[in-house]
Chains A and B, each alone.
Chain A
Amino acid sequence: MKLLKKGAEADLYQTKWQNSKAILKIRKIKNYRNSLLDLKIRKQRTIKECQMISFVKSFGIPTPLIYFVNLKTTSIMMQEIPGTPVHDLPESKIVELSKDIGKLVGTLHKNGVMHGDLTTSNFILFKKTVFVIDFGLSQNTIKSEDHAVDLRLIKEILNSAHAKIMLSSWENFLHGYKSIVGSAYYAKITKLVSDIESRGRYAEVV
């Protein structure tokens, strides 16, 4: 087993499952956390992630296949998507793909799913298809406030990690998002995003 990535909450290994390439995602014990809290978080997220990865396929979101789940080791065996994270693509490509990402997020929200961790590392481009991964923080929710939190997060990521292309990619994202959820819902959500931002510390208050 080869260690591919030490992520924030899990380690990713490249391995095999029935002769096909696979990824083993292990949420390891974190000694710095209280053990009760640690176990609760790891279990909850492992379960949520597999349920959601399979569920969102039903309305056409490209995600990896889940092969096997082990709750004792809080690990998931899943299909490997041998593409490139959007985060690592050239800037012009990120701008272009932002529209597709907007559509994907719109589809999730339309079907009552909040991703909870929308960063450019969690979208993988493979053969012209954008796959969505990492549903550990996702929730089944139709609350528009929750959906707005999703949008605010990706906006924050674009603003901080992709500052140079922030404006064009955010515009493309919103364009894609609007095309799926419709103008009325779009207006409601973008208003909520501004509301959340205005609650931020020391935000410009008019």
Chain B
Amino acid sequence: MLGLGIESTAHTFSCAIIEKKGNNGKILSDIRKIYRPADGEGIHPREASRHHIENSSIVLSECLKKANITIKDLDIVSYAAGPGLGPCLRVGAVVARSLSSFYKIPIYPVNHAIGHIELGKLLTGATNPLVLLVSGGHTMLLAFLNKQWRVFGETLDITLGQLLDQFGRSIGFASPCGKNIEELASTSSNYVTLPYSVKGNDVSFSGLLSATKSVAKKSKTDACYSLQETAFAMISETVERALSFTRKKELMIVGGVAANKRLSEMLQNVCKRHGCKFYVVPIQYAGDCGSQICWTGLLESKVKQGTLLKDTFVKQSWRLDSVIVDY
């Protein structure tokens, strides 16, 4: 079975083709174009959607070419219906609808966050993990129970990705800033005390962001180092709490911030302490990509018919714990 997945929730426009045989999926192609805002600035939704429109046909044709198939070979097409930026979501949805109606291919709207988790499970082989989803849009601890992903802890304000990006931009980096911060942090070991805010299984980063900005006035390197140490220690603590509460024996980390080595290192240590297996999604599939949408669409197609065109919505606010998963 061949599926096409279209991702356009934020800065990435991506198309991917996956071949599904039984429970196995093989990624035949995954092409992306990423919108880059100017240094020190964030994503402008209108500009990002313009970028997606301009690049959509190039990405799609490159994706088909690399997979060596034609549109007529496709069995289903899926697109990210939310959560994300409205103007950007619409681009992916329009492309998917056009293909679906012209070539009569069944269409599947997919939750972007579930996509991160399902692709992670496919690529790492985790079976029943506690999931840490850390990206620009999410900071959540999840476990699967009774047909739904349940939230065991989450951020009460901004996400880990936003924390890193907003701080990075304030010192002049270009978004996404995680990598620059990680590099600068590795040159310091001088810890400056910053607010550490864990509320049960939840975290709050907004106070930490303001405090780190004022530390950066004295030393950018110390600020980067202390920010990473504090924020990641907070995440690690909530992971430990959730592990000991749920008694899960697997931890899987997915989302853009999964690419950070210091975070992985800390969580690996946590897993060792709790005798649990540690899975990180491979770096090239940590960030937003068409594969996550494509694979989830293929899984959905096991139990559902394609959606009617008139119901192919986009939804900016669509929490993953409201999705019923019955495949």
Binding site for B on A (CB under 8 A): 5-9, 30-34, 36-38, 40-41, 87, 116-119, 121, 137, 149-150, 152-153, 156-157, 159-161, 163-164, 196, 199-205
User: Of the candidates A9, A40, A117, A203, which one forms a contact with B193 in the assembled complex, judged by CB atoms under 8 Å apart?
Assistant: A40
Does B169 sit at the interface, judged by CB under 8 A?
A: no
Do the beta carbons of B265 and A32 come within 8 Å of each other? yes
- Complex CA–CA separation, A37 to B233 (angstroms): 9
Residues of chain B within 8 A of A37, CB atoms compared: 191, 193, 196, 229-230, 233
Do the beta carbons of A160 and B152 come within 8 Å of each other? yes
- Shortest CB-to-CB span from B68 to chain A, Å, is 38
Does B243 sit at the interface, judged by CB under 8 A?
A: yes
- Shortest CB-to-CB span from B283 to chain A, Å, is 21
Binding site for A on B (CB under 8 A): 82-83, 137-140, 143, 145-146, 148, 150-157, 159, 191, 193, 196, 198-202, 229-230, 233, 236-237, 240-241, 243-246, 265-266, 269-270, 273-274, 316-319
- Shortest CB-to-CB span from A26 to chain B, Å, is 13
Residues of chain B within 8 A of A199, CB atoms compared: 156-157
Do the beta carbons of A34 and B191 come within 8 Å of each other? yes
Do the beta carbons of B243 and A31 come within 8 Å of each other? no
Do the beta carbons of B200 and A33 come within 8 Å of each other? no
- Shortest CB-to-CB span from B322 to chain A, Å, is 8
Most B CB contacts (10 A, CB to CB) among A9, A156, A163, A164 go to A156
Residues of chain B within 8 A of A32, CB atoms compared: 233, 236, 265-266, 269-270
Residues of chain A within 8 A of B150, CB atoms compared: 159-161, 163
Q: A201-B137, A204-B317 are in contact. Are A33 and B244 (CB under 8 A)?
A: no
Q: A153-B200, A201-B138 are in contact. Are A33 and B233 (CB under 8 A)?
A: yes
Residues of chain B within 8 A of A150, CB atoms compared: 200
User: Of the candidates A30, A121, A200, which one forms a contact with B245 in the assembled complex, judged by CB atoms under 8 Å apart?
Assistant: A121
Residues of chain A within 8 A of B138, CB atoms compared: 201
Using A153-B201, A201-B137 as known contacts, list a sample of 8 further A-B pairs with CB atoms less than 8 Å apart, ordered by residue number in A: A149-B202, A156-B151, A156-B202, A163-B148, A201-B138, A202-B137, A203-B317, A203-B319
